[in-house]
Amino acid sequence: METKFIFVAGGVMSGVGKGVAVASIAKILQARGLETTAVKIDPYVNVDAGTMNPTEHGEVFVLDDGMECDQDMGNYERFLGRNLSSKNYMTTGSIYLDVINRERNLDYGGKCVEVVPQIPLFIIEKIKRAAKTNRAKVVIVEIGGTVGEYQNILFLEAVRMLKIKQPDDVALVLVSMLPVLEAGGTELKTKPTQYAVRTLNAAGLQPDIILARGSVPVDDSRKEKLALNCNLRREDIISAPNVKNIYEIPLNFEKDRLSDLLLKKLKLKAKKKDFRKWKKFIHKSNNPTKKVRIGIVGKYFNSGDFVLTDSYLSVLEAVKHAAWSLRADPEITWLNAESYENNPTSLEELKNFDGIIVPGGFGKRGVEGKIAAIKYVRENNIPFLGLCYGLQLAVVEFARDICGLKEAHTTEIDPETPKPVICTMPDQLVNIKKKQMGGSMRLGAYKCKLHPKSISYKLYTTSHPSTLLGTGKLTPNLLTPNFLISERHRHRYEVNNHYRLKLEKGGMLIAGLNPQRELIEIIEIPEHKFFVATQFHPEFKSRPLSPHPLFVGLIKAASEIK
Ligand code: GLN
């Protein structure tokens, strides 16, 4: 049987949850027993998302194979419970780069290479390759941006071409916002969506389904109006109201029988839906028995007057997964690292939290504030989880305060520091010197050997094993001192092994090491209630149904669950 393709485009405006809609469509088809995968197309000329500023574009998500991509890929992995690969992500830049490289290799056999048809044909080829790699029966493709934008015309052209060739194998879904005018009561306005459909029509496309986003559910008369004006039937309009918990969206879609509609459209047969585990998870998340207050000390959330938390999306989701699994309701507060600089009294607010996270980051801004916060939580026995930069700055703080290395620093901030406790490996130095910054960090999955006496070891071997190497259940013979995990990385700097003994003498436990290069992957302070920091990003591997062991550890310590 042919692979089936569901393209998802956005109308009217961006930021209405198209990525989560794609993840939810993938989820409902997966729940019907179909092998499903999701692909994201980003309209940027950037070859990957690694060079994009998180305050502008949101979090840079990292896959096992090192691909730096859009945060929506994280949503796909979380909803599907699957690891995706670089084949599932493309940008305008990466597509052009590949086509130009082909042309340079004479792969077009001397023919003129034109934007149309070569670029759309190449897009189709890439999507088919992604489906094949993932052995998917259905591939859901998210087209970034909104219809009518000049920059995604070639992607729509790819949909048009594929649909002409394989009409029964392609469905097009439009995710469109129905705004409510403040002065007009609560009526959802349909006209902008009607225009979006006309724009698609002008590109030679007709949506098969409209996911009508709105602050409230879409009523029948609005559905009728949209159907009539957008060449659809009323049942092709799916109500997609705002929700508090995004993981409920697949269930909401099913209220309007979205999976049945798609299956019929694509002439697909499937099993009856099975949402048992998912529903159990939703029930747990909606019925907490206690509150846990978590503070996240960062800097990428101030965008003018807005608090933008997208830069830390996976951290946020990982906290939720872990808390919900323990029947706790996470109350998350975003704490601005800069506010702690030269201001010891402001640190007192950290006492109000059950746990503190210092997530990943780059550059000088806010660094001393993060270090001050880490010192405070270390001295006040407040549960702490450091992620990447969070580990590096915890090492700097410990070196300065406990090991007496007053001038300790990371060479990222002070290249001339006499005590470079965090520095670059020679391979990274080459990249920095050549200014080859795109795609050149330590990226993707690396193995890590756990210290048998560490908290991490205990957590990984007792919690849900989503991060364990290999598949299947834990067996007693895995509980050996050489127990390995695999976690994702995105950084240029490392703990300098020259200072390892000094750190250990000061009471720091090296809880995880890279087996090949002896690089420090996890540190802990055994005396502390919970002080764990990782060079990798555990948040990228947390899933709703298998929360990450280290986040579980933080929440357990924070809420004093045994
Ligand atoms: N800036 C640090 C490095 O490049 C940490 C990166 C991160 O937190 N992702 O090593």
What was the pLDDT predicted at 12? 79
Sign of the alpha-carbon dihedral angle for 148, 152, 157, 159: negative
Residue 169 lies in a domain: yes
Among 217, 251, 279, identify where a domain stops. 279
Let me know if 539 is a catalytic residue. yes
Does 147 share its domain with 197? yes
Q: How far, in whole angstroms, is CA 435 from its chain's centroid?
A: 27
- Region class of 245: left (phi > 0), else alpha (psi between -120 and 50), else beta: beta
> Which regions of 122-208 does DSSP assign to beta strands (E)?
138-143, 170-177
Per-residue pLDDT, 219: 93
Q: Does 237 lie in the same domain as 194?
A: yes
Kindly report each contact of residues 513-519 with a partner whose C-beta sits within 8 Å and lies 24 or more positions away, as own/partner.
513/448, 513/449, 513/451, 514/446, 514/447, 514/448, 514/449, 515/447, 515/448, 515/449, 515/484, 516/447, 517/425, 519/425, 519/494, 519/495
**Ligand 1 pocket, 361 CB below 6 A?**
yes
Portion of the chain with pLDDT greater than 90, in percent: 83
Phi (first) and psi of residue 58, to 5 degrees: 95, -175
> In the predicted model, is pLDDT for residue 28 greater than 90?
yes
Domain assignment of residue 480, yes or no: no
Domain for residue 257, yes or no? Answer: yes
CATH number (domain holding residue 71): 3.40.50.300
What distance in Å separates the CA atoms of residue 253 and residue 151, rounded to the nearest whole number? 29
Q: Do the domain assignments include residue 389? A: yes
Which CATH number does the domain housing residue 380 bear?
3.40.50.880
Residues 300 and 354 occupy one common structural domain = yes
Which range among 78-87, 307-316, 328-337 shows the weakest confidence by mean pLDDT? 307-316
| Single residue among 230, 251, 279 that ends a domain in this structure | 279
317, 491, 539, 548: which is the annotated catalytic residue?
Answer: 539
Whether 378 has a pLDDT exceeding 50, the answer reads yes
Q: CB-based contacts of 285: which residues, under 8 Å, 6+ apart?
A: 245, 247, 320, 324
> Among the options 69, 388, 403, 423, which is catalytic?
388
Predicted local distance difference test score (pLDDT) of residue 425? 81
Bridge partners of residue 11, in order along the sequence? 176
pLDDT band at 194 (very low <50, low <70, confident <90, very high): very high
- Asked whether 413 lines ligand 1 (CB < 6 A), one says no
Q: Does any ligand 1 atom lie closer than 6 A to the CB of residue 61? A: no
Residue 473: per-residue pLDDT: 40
What's the confidence (pLDDT) of residue 276? 95
Q: Please state the domain count of the chain.
A: 2
Residues 326 and 389 in one domain: yes
Q: How remote is the CA of residue 351 from the centroid of ligand 1, in Å?
A: 27
**Domain match, 192 and 294 both:** no
- Same-domain check for residues 189 and 302: no
**Which conformational region is residue 295 in: left (phi greater than 0), alpha (psi within -120 to 50 degrees), or beta?**
beta
- Residues 490-521 pLDDT 10s: 999 999 999 999 999 999 999 999 988 899 99
Mean pLDDT of the region 33-60:
92
Q: How far apart are CA 35 and CA 555, in angstroms?
A: 34
250 part of a folded domain: yes
The pLDDT confidence band at residue 470, using thresholds 50, 70 and 90, is very low
Q: Which domain holds residue 415?
A: 288-424+493-512+522-558
**Is residue 226 assigned to a domain?**
yes
In which band, very low, low, confident or very high, does the pLDDT at 13 lie, cut at 50, 70 and 90? confident
Answer yes or no: is pLDDT of 227 > 80: yes
User: Do the beta carbons of residue 481 and residue 496 sit within 8 Å?
Assistant: no
Whether 9 shows a pLDDT value over 80: the answer reads yes
CA atoms of 135 and 62, how far apart (whole Å): 21
Domain match, 223 and 121 both: yes
Predicted local distance difference test score (pLDDT) of residue 461: 86
403 as an active site residue: the answer is no
The pTM of this model reads 0.94
Asked whether residue 473 is domain-assigned, the answer is: no
Separation of CA 296 and ligand 1 centre (Å):
17
* Residue finishing a domain among 234, 257, 279: 279
Cα separation values, 526 from 152, 375, 381, 383, 507, Å:
53, 16, 11, 12, 8
Q: Determine, yes or no, domain membership for 455.
A: no
**CB-based contacts of 543: which residues, under 8 Å, 6+ apart?**
77, 78, 81, 321, 466
The Cα-based distances of 139 to 6, 8, 88, 124, 445 in angstroms read 6, 11, 10, 12, 24
Question: Do 245 and 346 share a structural domain?
Answer: no
Mean pLDDT calculated for residue range 71-95? 97
Our answer on whether the CB atom of 68 is closer than 6 Å to any ligand 1 atom is: no
Give yes or no: residues 251 and 317 share one domain. Answer: no
Would residue 537 show up in a list of annotated catalytic residues for this protein?
yes
Geometric angle at alpha carbon 317, from 457 and 452, rounded to 5°: 5
The residue nearest atom 9 of ligand 1, judged by CA position, is 360
Is residue 47 scored above 60 in pLDDT?
yes
320 and 364 co-located in one domain: yes
Q: Do 321 and 216 fall into the same domain? A: no
What is the pLDDT, as a whole number, of residue 402?
Answer: 98
Nearest CA owner, ligand 1 atom 7? 360
Distance from the alpha carbon of residue 361 to the mean position of ligand 1, in angstroms? 5
Tens-place pLDDT, residues 323-356: 999 999 999 999 999 999 988 899 999 999 999 9
pLDDT-based confidence at residue 169 (cuts at 50, 70, 90): very high
**CB of 32 closer than 8 Å to CB of 263:** yes
Same domain, 108 and 237: yes
Cβ–ligand 1 distance for 493 under 6 Å, the answer yes
Atom index in ligand 1 nearest the CA of residue 362 equals 1
CB of 62 closer than 6 angstroms to any ligand 1 atom: no
Higher pLDDT, 128 or 468: 128
Is 491 near ligand 1, meaning CB less than 6 Å away?
yes
**What's the chain's average pLDDT?**
92
